[in-house]
Amino acid sequence: MARKENNSRGVDGINKSLENQPDLRKDDLLELYEGLQEVFKPEMLAHFDAVENFHKSLSFNRKTRLESDKIRLNTQMKELDGKRNKVGEKRDQLLATLQGKRALDEYAALAKQLARHEGERERLGEYLEFANTLQKQVQGIKEKMVLEDREAANYADSTPLFQADKNFSALAELLYPAYVY
């Protein structure tokens, strides 16, 4: 369906391009050349007809190419419409053979059950993904706690306050010599 929309937009673009005409008309070009004759030598401006023919051939080739692209896109759209109609007809035929034979009811019930199971599978997948993410976060926190416990034990083993306590005791003895520490 998206391809058909793209082709349709392509045909619309081609139609707009075909409507667009060159901005310069022959009269405008002649006025421009007449103004240039005062500045340039006449021999340099002698190729006006060649330029005009070149411009016409470019315009003709562009129009021809756009027309062939339009035809190609319209053909593709018709082919896609034909294929879509054939598939729809085949589907309708198959459903018609099931009609009146409980098979259609069974098909509808199975389709509902399938949709329910697919929804449940998606929810289970989301739950498992969430549980896995949660487990990874817990593991990361535990690893961080082990590292922090190790750092704390190393810090405590290094007796960080020993030197400060020693300095404090020395100061206290100097300030209060009568007390025994």
- Who has greater pLDDT, 162 or 49? 162
How would DSSP label each residue in 103-145?
Answer: HHHHHHHHHHHHHHHHHHHHHHHHHHHHHHHHHHHHHHHHHHH
**CA pair distance 132, 116, nearest whole angstrom:** 24
Provide, rounded to the nearest whole percent, the portion of the chain with pLDDT above 70.
72
pLDDT at 7: 59
Measured CA distances, 76 to 18, 69, 132 (Å): 20, 11, 49
Q: How confident is the model at residue 62 (pLDDT cuts 50, 70, 90)?
A: confident
* Residues 78-120: tens digit of each pLDDT: 999 999 999 999 988 887 777 766 777 788 888 899 999 999 9
**CA pair distance 17, 11, nearest whole angstrom:** 10
* Residues 130-175: tens digit of each pLDDT: 999 999 999 999 999 999 999 999 988 888 888 888 999 889 888 8
Average pLDDT, the chain: 81
Q: What is the pTM of this model?
A: 0.38
